[in-house]
Amino acid sequence: MKEKPDRAERRRRFREQVRENPRLAAVYFILRLLVILMLVAQAFNHNFENVFLCVLTLFLFTLPSFLERKIRIDIPNTLEIIILLFIFAAEILGEIRAYYVTFPYWDTMLHTLNGFLCAAIGFSLLDILNRDERLTLSLSPVYLALVAFCFSMTIGVLWEFFECTMDQLFLLDMQKDTIVHSIGSVMLDPKGGNNPTAIHNITDVIVVTADGSQIPLGLGGYLDIGILDTMKDLFVNFIGAVVFSFIGYFYVKNRGKGRFARRFIPKALPQEPEKKETE
């Protein structure tokens, strides 16, 4: 059995990691400090939902290094820095600082990056097995690229399922609404059939409540409930996945000669020999 390292050993390893990866350590320290300051500010404002998001962010920051230790992989510094910045941009800037609303393309940027990163992770999962001498796998570059693409798109779809579930249960509007000026629906067919009826030049929507009150929304159009946002998110996820799939294909084709791809593909570390328990 392995003994747990004491505090002095952990501190020594931490100092070694800082010396080996000063840029990564600096990014991690700065982002962690910013999140802690944000957490204190939100606690003073009694905004406990945002406090939870800050705690969640601090937890997510620890996942890359945790996975490196537990499953013996080496996450490239570039990939790890991008993951940390992605978490910060999504949770702190996007949710708490409302960048999703302030900057219309903030969500689009993150979903595109998510497609790229998930493709890199999906690619590495099989590439690690493909390069393991103990296994008899010999997968082609096309197959690896296809798996990376499918893995990324699957993660994107699962995330949209999650957003839709949160919207239906808690009305969080994670699938952001879109203003449109024309709609077509079979629900508007005056004969009750299956013929879509179109309405053009919509300038406003009036909501009628249960007590008969009419509330003009003043939106300047019709409120599309999340459908266009979902399709946009999946499309930009598709773009990110396709881009990395091409990069991964040529990376395997040239067997690791591409410097750019190596910055995004985790590698398996050699297993440490087990120490025998001493009496």
Question: Distance between CA atoms of 28 and 62, rounded to whole angstroms?
Answer: 10
Kindly report the pTM of this predicted structure. Answer: 0.85
* Per-residue pLDDT, 274: 53
* Per-residue pLDDT, 12: 66
What are 210-256's pLDDT values in tens digits?
998 999 989 899 988 889 999 999 999 999 999 999 999 998 888 76
Question: Distance between CA atoms of 117 and 11, rounded to whole angstroms?
Answer: 31
Question: Distance between CA atoms of 146 and 150, rounded to whole angstroms?
Answer: 6
Work out whether strand 183-185 and strand 222-224 pair parallel, antiparallel, or are unpaired: unpaired
- Does residue 275 or residue 60 have the better pLDDT? 60
What are 100-128's pLDDT values in tens digits?
989 989 999 999 999 999 999 999 988 88
